[in-house]
């Protein structure tokens, strides 16, 4: 009997120990599971992701448009495009400008009626391409000789632009052009491709320090073409060697870790050795080369889609550009064409020609870039 009681006591002790171990293990396991769930729950949702989830398709499509308008004041057309079509940006030309006070009032009025901050953009390159001739810093790129001068000119220009409400400049021009008779030569730095990239990077730093988003242009480079792509088709049969040389300035600015805080503007040029389509409409250029090979995940903006060099109806060209990898479409001159672009892109999404996920990729890039406007 005593032996039986002893065995029973031993069993009870082992069962107790086993139960305790089990409950300790279970408690630890449950604790880890709970902690994991808590960690999952408290991961903050990005404000940009939250905003995109709450945006309508119309709002998303609108953010992909940069438009121009005719007048020096907030007219009915631009008001409609902001309030009803939710456009992402404005391209200011000389026709919109009278003087400093007028342009300050205009940019204030434009931003005031937009739910999302607008890119208010312009071409203030200096030299022959300027929109605000009353500003002080008008030095052309061809006269810039070193990085210190490049950065200081861009910084001064940026501060002047911010003062009048402009927050994006379609500058610098980093096309490598060696022929003095070419279309773009006097708007470039007029130096070799490597130093073009160095000077372009310096100007970008200056613009950023002054609170301006710079737009490097025109990818993949117009090179030595003579024709004006605003008026004629731009076609070049350059060799692969020349093509790769023309890419050097763009690679240089991306090497300088500038990719997250700039945009790149496209060129409507057909480089026959690479693709039969204008670069703006080419997946080969926009996605395979610029995005994948060169690693650019920032905002890609088209040059004005009303230029002859796009080669097709503007609404179809806009859809092709987005499918190629472009984020924002510029249409500066014609109100009806701006609405055609909006409707074509919306229809493309509704019919499944372009996925809404693809649109969301562009909206993410656009809103990330716009977040810099708030911090500046």
Residue 229 burial (CB count, 10 A): 24
Residue 11 burial (CB count, 10 A): 10
Q: Is the pLDDT of residue 3 over 90?
A: no
- Reported as a pLDDT band with limits 50, 70 and 90, residue 29 is very low
Rounded to whole angstroms, the Cα distance separating 331 from 290 reads 23
- Average pLDDT, stretch 185-213? 97
Supply the pTM of this predicted model. 0.88
Tell me the CB-side half-sphere exposure of residue 162, using CA atoms within 13 A: 18
Question: What was the pLDDT predicted at 15?
Answer: 47
The tokens describing 35, both together, are 């902690």
Question: What was the pLDDT predicted at 279?
Answer: 96
Of the candidates 175, 303, 304, 327, the residue annotated as catalytic is: 303
Q: Is the pLDDT of residue 41 over 60?
A: no
303 is catalytic: yes
Question: What was the pLDDT predicted at 226?
Answer: 77
Rounded to whole angstroms, the Cα distance separating 139 from 119 reads 24
Question: What was the pLDDT predicted at 38?
Answer: 35
Of the candidates 77, 109, 192, 230, the residue annotated as catalytic is: 230
- Reported as a pLDDT band with limits 50, 70 and 90, residue 300 is very high
Could you tell me what percent of the chain has a pLDDT over 90? 78
Residue ranges of domains in the chain: 59-375
CA 16 to chain centre: 66
CA-based nearest residue to 169, from 156, 180, 181:
156
Residues 52, 29 contacting (CB under 8 angstroms): no
Protein fold of 59-375: TIM Barrel (3.20.20)
């Amino acid at each position: 009997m005593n032996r039986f009681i002893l065995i029973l006591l031993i069993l009870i002790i082992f069962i107790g120990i086993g139960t305790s171990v089990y409950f300790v293990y279970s408690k630890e396991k449950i604790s880890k599971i709970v902690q994991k769930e808590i960690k999952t729950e408290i991961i903050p949702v990005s404000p940009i992701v939250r905003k995109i989830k709450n945006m309508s398709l119309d709002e998303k499509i609108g953010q992909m448009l940069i438009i121009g308008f005719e007048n020096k004041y907030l007219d009915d057309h631009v008001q409609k495009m902001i309030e009803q079509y939710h456009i992402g940006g404005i391209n200011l030309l000389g026709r919109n400008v009278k003087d400093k006070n007028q342009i300050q009032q205009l940019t204030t009025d434009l931003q005031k009626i937009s739910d999302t901050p607008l890119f208010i953009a312009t071409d203030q390159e200096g030299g022959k391409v300027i929109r605000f001739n009353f500003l002080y810093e008008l030095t052309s790129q061809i006269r810039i000789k070193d990085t210190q001068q490049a950065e200081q000119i861009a910084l001064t220009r940026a501060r002047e632009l911010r003062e009048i409400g402009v927050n994006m400049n379609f500058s610098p021009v980093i096309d490598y052009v060696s022929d003095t008779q070419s279309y773009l030569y006097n708007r470039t730095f007029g130096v070799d491709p490597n130093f073009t990239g160095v000077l372009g990077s310096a100007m970008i730093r200056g613009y950023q320090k002054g609170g301006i988003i710079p737009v490097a242009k025109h990818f993949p480079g117009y090179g030595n073409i003579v024709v004006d792509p605003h008026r004629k088709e731009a076609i070049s049969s350059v060799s692969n060697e020349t093509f790769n040389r023309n890419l050097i300035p763009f690679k240089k600015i991306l090497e300088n870790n500038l990719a997250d805080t700039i945009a790149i503007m496209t060129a409507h040029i057909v480089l026959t050795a690479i693709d039969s389509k204008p670069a703006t409409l080419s997946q080969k250029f926009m996605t395979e080369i610029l995005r994948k090979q060169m690693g650019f995940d920032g905002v890609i903006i088209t040059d004005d889609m009303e230029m002859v060099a796009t080669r097709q109806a503007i609404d179809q060209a806009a859809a092709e550009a987005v499918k190629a990898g472009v984020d924002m479409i510029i249409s500066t001159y014609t109100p009806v064409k701006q609405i055609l672009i909006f409707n074509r892109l919306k229809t493309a999404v509704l019919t499944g020609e372009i996925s809404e996920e693809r649109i969301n990729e562009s909206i993410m890039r656009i809103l990330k870039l716009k977040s810099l406007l708030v911090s500046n």
